[in-house]
Amino acid sequence: MALTTRTVSIVGAVVVSTGLIAGAFVLSGPLPFANLVKRADAQSTAELLKTFAAKDSDGDGLPDWQESLYGTDPKDPESVVKGTLDSDAVAQGLVQPKFVTEASALAQQDDNGQDIPGDAPASGSVTEQFAQLFFKNYMTSRGSTPPTEAEMLQFVNDAVINLQESRKDTQHFTINEVTVAGSGANAIRQYMANFEGALLKHLTKAGSPELQYITAAVTSDDTSGLSKARAIGDAYMAQGTEMMKLTVPTELRLVHLRAANSIYRLGEITRDMSEIDEDPLLGMLGIIDYQPAAIEAIEALGAYTPILTANQITFEKGEQGYSVSMRAQLVTEFIDKAAVQAQ
């Protein structure tokens, strides 16, 4: 009892179609907002996701990320039975997931599925969670009768939704953690200088944007930059945490909390993407989440502009606070322009 190559490949299409939204600026780490220079749309992220979903390093008809579900070898096209492509082995029911679940136990009662040499999904990984959801849904729902392609699509969609529900964006910091003191132009000006200082305090030596490292890993098998992407993610999270140490004027209480949470969240998602080699499904979900998270971080920055304008606060070039205030203004102008064009 096994899935055909064609039906299993539906997973990639479902994941690709979930969670992508319209374009915005792309953050270029490791300093959020400071390198806010490149405009991109969701298409670039979608294409990266499609490329990863279809990647088949050994040409055996079974994409690499699916091989991680079965525990087959993505570098050996005949890792189950010599003379038989892994995709055919799956279609013939010669492969069962290597983790122990109710689903796999049920499957072993119905056929002679072979437990092959290879790497099982890492324990506790999102890839393992997906595999368990996927195979349990398949096996317990249909027994020994293979589902139709439409039914399989629904099974996969449900599994993806379940995973995304478990990963719903939660606010890492709460309003009660914001230290509020002072108000007025002078307090706001000092805060903006401190805000920029908090970002500068946690930098990495990564020379490229995080998405560039992920793209290289997916399209060129160059995984050397994944550790740099992970370091960028760590830097974002450290910057969000550092922001929460600041004293915040009354006027910026909510804006500050939103910015800190959005930077921290972007760090979490960047780290997820950086795991794409070890935990493929986590990496895929990270790519899905990246575009909305980047947009939220950028819009959070733009929320500073009305308050700066209302208090007639400007910064001279070279003055601490200038960089973030200038980027906030650029974001506001971009959003306003996009709104006019949409009318």
> pLDDT by residue for the chain (343 residues), tens digit each?
333 343 334 444 444 443 333 333 444 444 454 444 344 444 466 677 777 777 888 888 888 777 777 778 888 888 888 888 888 887 776 766 554 333 444 444 443 334 434 455 666 777 777 766 666 666 555 555 555 656 656 666 676 677 777 777 678 999 999 999 999 999 999 999 999 999 888 887 777 788 888 889 888 889 999 999 999 999 999 999 999 999 999 999 999 999 999 999 999 999 999 998 888 878 888 888 888 888 888 889 889 999 999 999 999 988 999 888 888 887 777 777 766 766 6
pLDDT at 172: 92
Please state the domain count of the chain.
2
Same domain? 9 vs 132: yes
Helix (H/G/I), strand (E/B), else coil: 38: strand
Residues 82, 16 within the same domain: yes
Range of the domain at 15: 5-26+43-48+55-166
Q: Give me the pLDDT at residue 186, please.
A: 96
Q: Which residue has the tokens 């793209």?
A: 215
Q: Is residue 34 part of a domain?
A: no
299 assigned to some structural domain: yes
For position 249, what pLDDT does the model report? Answer: 97
CA distance 324 to 336: 18
Whether 325 is covered by a domain: the verdict is yes
| Residue 35 pLDDT | 45
In a domain, 125, yes or no: yes
One domain, residues 206 and 311? yes
pLDDT on residue 56: 83
pTM for this predicted structure: 0.76
Question: Is the dihedral angle over the CA atoms 300, 301, 306, 311 positive or is it negative?
Answer: positive
Q: What is the pLDDT of residue 47?
A: 75
Instruction: Tell me what pLDDT residue 142 has.
Output: 53
Q: Is residue 198 part of a domain?
A: yes
Same domain? 271 vs 225: yes
Q: According to the model, what pLDDT value does residue 176 have? A: 96
Q: Please check whether residue 157 lies inside any domain of the structure.
A: yes
Q: How many residues does the chain have?
A: 343
Give the model's pLDDT for residue 233: 92
Q: Sign of dihedral through CA atoms 55, 60, 61, 67?
A: negative
Domain shared by 152 and 11, yes or no: yes
* Model pLDDT, residue 118: 45
Q: How far apart are CA 68 and CA 127, in angstroms?
A: 8
Asked if 41 and 218 count as a contact pair (C-beta separation under 8 A), the reply is: no
Rg from Cα positions in the chain: 23
Contact between residue 164 and residue 19 where contact means Cβ atoms under 8 Å apart: yes
Residue 111 confidence (pLDDT): 38
Residue 189 and residue 139 share a domain: no
Residue at which a domain ends, from 114, 149, 166: 166
**CB of 29 closer than 8 Å to CB of 235:** yes
Residues 140, 228: one domain?
A: no
Residue 293 structure tokens: 């998270």
Are the C-beta atoms of residues 114 and 96 closer than 8 Å to each other? yes
Q: Residue 39: which of 52, 24, 53 has the closest Cα?
A: 24
**Residue 86, in any domain of the structure:** yes
Name the domain boundary from 166, 185, 208: 166
- Residue that terminates a domain, selected from 120, 144, 166: 166
90 and 128 fall within a common domain: yes
The count of other CB atoms within 10 Å of the CB of residue 217 is 21
> Does residue 200 share a domain with residue 333?
yes
Name the burial class of residue 41, with classes exposed (0-12), middle (13-18) and buried (19+) by CB atoms within 10 angstroms of its CB. middle
Residue 240 in any domain: the answer is: yes
CA angle 303, 306, 309 (to 5 degrees): 140
Residues 237 and 161 in one domain: no
Q: Bridge partners of 26?
A: 38
Give residue 29's pLDDT. 47
